[in-house]
Amino acid sequence: MPGQDSLTAMDGRADSAQHERQGRHVKQALLVVDIQQGLFADEPRPFEIDAVIENINLLAKRARAAGAPVFFIQHEAAGTELAYGSPAWQLDKRLSVEPADMLIRKTSSAPYASSDLHRQLQERGVQAVVITGYATEFCIDSTVRWSASLGLPVALVSDAHTTHDKPHLSAKRIVAHHNATLPSIQSLGAPITAVPAESLWC
């Protein structure tokens, strides 16, 4: 019988294949959440942030080529270093951003609750979302759950979201935990899958 690692790999390939089939028939959008200068400027840096940004740029390029809209979502908080327009609020300089990309301002960990993201998606006929960014256990978690609750199938890009180490758990384990558990939620109204960047828009 196959071992646990083999079963996990097979599950991952099955999720990727399912999402690829789905993507051929629905309009998707790429969401890039909170990849901002002030969140990554100081040490220690988020887990594998360089690889995460590289994967986000790859997905953005592929999404644009496929005619899928790209949304960059930025958190802001008045009176803090993340105040709107501040250097810390700016998108990370390593991100590849094009003039046609959408910029969304939010003020909470749930973009749908504190921005017009849902309306923007509806106006563009988006039927499913691909989610990347920071921080896994906060804004990424809430964006995934809220998207599915709105009936939008979600592809959580397993190697394109990240966080910082926490006293109770390493960033690596937090990312792995969310990649494993979010797809198991079946009560939100739409499916959630966790797939690698290489499997999308290819």
Residue 138 lies in a domain: yes
> Does residue 15 lie within any of the structural domains?
no
Residue 177, domain member (yes or no): yes
Q: Per mean pLDDT, which range of 9-18, 28-37, 148-157 is the poorest?
A: 9-18
pLDDT number for residue 9 = 43
Number of domains in the chain: 1
Residues 153-191: tens digit of each pLDDT: 999 999 999 999 999 999 999 999 999 999 999 999 999
pLDDT of 8 strictly over 50: no
Other residues' Cβ atoms within 10 Å of the Cβ of residue 112? 19
In a domain, 6, yes or no: no
- As a dihedral over the C-alpha atoms of residue 197, residue 104, residue 112, residue 189, rounded to 10 degrees, the angle is -30
Adjacency order of strands within the sheet including 70-75 = 102-106, 70-75, 28-33, 128-134, 154-162, 192-195
pLDDT of residue 10: 44
Instruction: Write out the DSSP string of 90-127.
Output: SBPTTS---TTSEEEEESSS-TTTSSSHHHHHHHTT--
Per-residue pLDDT for 22 more than 70? Answer: no
Residue 187 maps to a domain? yes
Is residue 115 one of the residues assigned to a domain?
yes
What are the φ and ψ backbone dihedral angles of 75, each rounded to 5 degrees? -85, 145
Query: Which CATH number characterizes residue 147's domain?
Result: 3.40.50.850
- Give the mean pLDDT of the chain: 91
Asked whether residue 2 is assigned to any structural domain, the reply reads: no
Structural domain of 138: 28-199
Assigned domain for 32 exists: yes
